[in-house]
Structure 1
Amino acid sequence: MTQENKKRGIGRRKFLTGAALAGAGTLAMPQISRAQTTKLTMQSSWPVSDIFQEMAQQYADRVSEMSGGRLEIDLQPAGAIVAAFSVQDACHDGVLDAAHTVSAYWYGKNKAASLFGTGPVFGIDGAQIIAWFQYGGGQELYNELVQEVLGLNVVGFYAFAMPTQPFGWFSREPTSIEDIQGLKYRTVGLSADLNQAMGLAVTQLPGGEIVPAMERGVIDAFEYNNPTSDRRFGAQDVVKNYMLGSYHQACEAFELIFNKDRFDSLEPELQAILRYAAEAANTANYGLAMDNYSKDLQALIDDAGVNVKRTPQSIMEAQLEAWDKVIEPLMEDDLFKRIVESQKAWAERVGFYSLMNSADYKAAYDHYFPGKLTY
C-alpha cells in the first residue's frame, strides 16, 4: 500500500469513527428531549410581595434544577386558587398538587398541629425542632396526625428554621404585663391560646389582612413574623413600637405539603428531590432571611423612626407561665401528649448540649460593638 493510500485509509477510518460517534449522539439526544416534564401546581399562604413567597420560589427553583427540568413547580401566591388558610384542604382534595404554608394555619382541626411550628418553647430553637422532626421521631408523629388521626391525603416536610418571631407591633410600648391586658391582638396557632391566657383578645388573620385591620381599628396590636415581611406590609406606617424577642413563636418552620396520591405517583427519584430540596431550601431560606431581616430592621429604625425595643423580661416570663397553663389540659389527648413528651425529651438532651457548648455571642458582640445593644 502506498503512502498516499495509507493516508486515505486512516482518513476514512477517522471519518467513519467520527460518524459513528455523531450518530450515537443523535440517537441519545431524542431520549433526553423526550424525557417527560412533570408540573406540580403549588400555592403558598403568602402574598406575592412577602419575602416568604421568595423563599417558596427558592424551593421551586431547586426542585427544577436538581431534576434537570423533569420536575417543575408552578408556584402561585395566596388567593390565586384558594384562600391562604385553605391550602391544606385544597391539597387533600387534589385542587392543588402542593402548598407552601405553616402548620399553625390548620391548628383548628387539631391543636397538635401547632406543635410542629408554633408550640411551647422547651429551650431549643427552630433549627433544633427541624432536627427533631428529622431525627427525633417528629416525622412519624406528623404522619400519624395528618394521615391517621385526620385522615388527610397529604404528605409533608419542613424547611427553614425561622428565627424567633418578634412579639410584634403596639400602639404604645408595653413595659409590663398590665400594658397588654385586653388588647385586640393578631396571631395564629397555639399562640392564640397562649395570648388569650395572658389576657389579650386574639384575632387570627392571614398576613395580607393585618395592616388593613390595624387601620380600621379591628386590632390594636399584631405579630406576623419578621422585620422584612412587616416592613413590606407597611406596619411602620400604622404603628411605631416594635417589640423583639418572645416565646409565643420561637421555633416555627415552613410546612411543604403535597397531595399524597400525586406524590406517590411520581418516580422515586423525583420524590427524593421534593424531599431533599426542602433541606436545600432550608439553608437558602435562612441565608436570605439573615441578609434581609437585618437590613430591614435597620431601615425601620433609621428611615421610618420605629421604636425598636426588646420585649421586657417580665412579659417573657409570663409567656412561659402561660404556656404551662395552655399545655396542661391539652395533654389529655394521647397524641398531643406523645408529641410534647417527644419534644421535651429531645429538648432536654439537645438543649443541654447546645446551651452548655454555645459561645456567649452577646458578650462577643458587646466586645466588638460596645453600647449598641440596649438590653
Structure 2
Amino acid sequence: MKKRRYSVLNSVSRPAEAAGPGVGRRRFLRGLGLGGAAAVGAVAMPNVSRAQTVTWRFQSTWPQKDIFHEFAQDFVKRANEMGGSRLKLDLLAAGAVVGAFQMQDAVHAGALDGGHGVAAYWYGKNKAFSLFGTAPPYGWDANHLLGWFYYGGGEALYRELVNDMLKLNVVGFMSGPMPTQPLGWFKREINSADDLKNLKYRTVGLAADLMKELGVAVTILPGGEIVPAIDRGLIDGAEFNNPSSDRVLGFPDVAKNYYLQSFHQRVECFEIIFNKQKFDALAAEQKAILRYAAEAASADMGWKQQDRYSKDLQEMQQQKGVKAVPTPKPVLEAQLRAWDKVIDSLSGDPYFKKVVESQKAWVQRVAGFYNLYDADARMAFQHFFKA
C-alpha cells in the first residue's frame, strides 16, 4: 500500500459550530500556514517536570447535549482527578475548534491535544479504521472487541495502521463498549430488505459499504446534522447510536418508526486519541493516568448506559409515541449475506485481511467459549417476566 500523509487543510470545510475556550477555527487554520512538518514538529516538548501542570485542549466529536459528550466528560473527570495538579484536560464539544470529522487531523497537527470519538470517523483515510470501531458482527459484542484490542493483538495492529502506514502523529486507546445499535429511524415501515432499496440513509464506517450492498443510498453525516437532514427531507432514514442520544438529538420529533436490533453496527466502541509527540513527552505516570482513565471510564460507561438507555427508550415510547420494534428477520439475514460480500471485497487489501483474520480467530475462541459457557439469558428472562 502506498504511504500517504493527510492534510488537515484538505479536511476542514465547515465553520465552527460554536465558540469555545482555547484555539478557535481561524487560529487553527492560520497555524497550518507553518506547513505540515513544521506544524507537527512545533508540538514537541521536553519531559514535563512533576512541579508543572500540563493543560491540554481535548475535544469530543459530539454535540454538547449528547450523552456521548457526557461519556467524554466522564473520562476527562477521571484523568483530571487522578492527575491532581499535574495533568488537566479541558473538554470542548464538537465544533469548538474543528468539526467532528476533522478532529483527528487537528490532533495530528497539534491544534488539539486530544479527542474523543470513534475510529469509524476516519474511514475515509483507510477503511480498516472501521474494524477498530464498528467491526463486522462475527458473533461477538463490543466487550469482546475491547478484549481483542488489549489482549488479542488489536492494539499492535492499530499502531501499525496509525503510525506506520498513515504516519499520523497520534496515539490512541479504545474505550466504552456499546450495545447493538438500532437499524434506526424511518418515516415509513421497513418489513423487508427490499424496503431499504433506494432509501437515502445516514450511517458511517463499514456500515456504509454494507448498506450500499443492500441498495441503500448512503449519506455520511456527523451526529448534530442528522435530525435536520431528516426534517428537511434530505434523507429518508438514519441511525446514530442509542436511545439516549437519539432522544436528545430530536429523532422522535421527525420520525416514529424506530427499528431496534441490527447487524450494521453490532460491535462498536469509542476511541480516545492524543497528539503522539506530546503524549510521548509526558512522564510515565502521566501516560499511565490517561490509559487507566480510559479503562475506568469504559467500565463506568457500561454501567451508566444500562440505566440511561432503558429509561430513555421507555420515555420515547410512552411520551413521544415512538413505535420501537425489532428489525424484521429477513432484513437481518440480508445484512449478514451482505457482510460476506463486503468483507470479501475489502480483504483484497493485505492489511485489512490481516486484521479480519486476527479478529475472527479471537471471536472463534472467545465468543465460542461464552456460547458454550453461559446459560441463555433470554430463556431466564422469559421465565421470570412472562408478562
Name 1:17's counterpart in structure 2: none
Post-superposition CA distance 1:248-291 (Å, at most 9, x none): 11111100000000101110000011111110000111112111
Instruction: Give 1:1-375 correspondences, 5 Å limit.
Output: 35-371=51-387
Q: Structure 1: state its 5+ residue gaps.
A: 1-33
- CA distance in 1 between counterparts of 2:292 and 2:374 reads 28
- CA distance in 1 between counterparts of 2:92 and 2:237 reads 29
Tell me the CA shift for residue 329 of structure 1: 1.8
Name 1:15's counterpart in structure 2: none
- CA distance in 2 between counterparts of 1:368 and 1:171 reads 35
Tell me the CA shift for residue 64 of structure 1: 1.1
Tell me the CA shift for residue 173 of structure 1: 1.9
- CA distance in 1 between counterparts of 2:137 and 2:330 reads 16
- CA distance in 2 between counterparts of 1:177 and 1:138 reads 33
Structure of greater Rg: 1
Post-superposition CA distance 1:115-161 (Å, at most 9, x none): 00112111110000000000000000000000011110000001001
**Contact 1:162–1:253 (CA under 8 A) maintained in structure 2:** yes
- CA distance in 1 between counterparts of 2:172 and 2:246 reads 27
Post-superposition CA distance 1:10-47 (Å, at most 9, x none): xxxxxxxxxxxxxxxxxxxxxxxx83221111101000
SS of the counterpart of 2:324?
A: strand
- CA distance in 2 between counterparts of 1:285 and 1:369 reads 27
SS of the counterpart of 2:352?
A: helix
SS of the counterpart of 1:262?
A: helix
| Larger mean Cα displacement after TM superposition, 115-124 or 193-202 | 115-124
SS of the counterpart of 1:123?
A: coil
Tell me the CA shift for residue 367 of structure 1: 1.6
Aligned length: 338
Tell me the CA shift for residue 183 of structure 1: 0.6
SS of the counterpart of 2:304?
A: helix
- CA distance in 2 between counterparts of 1:298 and 1:356 reads 33
- CA distance in 2 between counterparts of 1:190 and 1:256 reads 20
- CA distance in 2 between counterparts of 1:152 and 1:315 reads 38
What is the aligned-residue identity percentage? 56
- CA distance in 1 between counterparts of 2:101 and 2:262 reads 24
TM-score by length of 1: 0.89
Tell me the CA shift for residue 232 of structure 1: 0.3
Segments ≥4 residues shifted beyond 4 Å = none
SS of the counterpart of 1:252?
A: strand
Name 1:18's counterpart in structure 2: none
SS of the counterpart of 1:173?
A: coil
**Contact 1:167–1:243 (CA under 8 A) maintained in structure 2:** yes
- CA distance in 2 between counterparts of 1:53 and 1:365 reads 32
Aligned letter for 1:90? A
TM-score by length of 2: 0.86
Aligned letter for 2:158? Y
- CA distance in 2 between counterparts of 1:205 and 1:62 reads 30
Post-superposition CA distance 1:78-130 (Å, at most 9, x none): 00000100010001000000010101101000000000011211111000000
SS of the counterpart of 1:88?
A: helix
- CA distance in 2 between counterparts of 1:304 and 1:357 reads 40
Aligned letter for 1:155? V
- CA distance in 1 between counterparts of 2:188 and 2:348 reads 38
SS of the counterpart of 1:185?
A: strand
SS of the counterpart of 1:202?
A: strand
**Contact 1:119–1:191 (CA under 8 A) maintained in structure 2:** no
Post-superposition CA distance 1:204-230 (Å, at most 9, x none): 000000000001111000000000000
Tell me the CA shift for residue 69 of structure 1: 3.1
RMSD of the TM alignment (CA)? Answer: 0.9
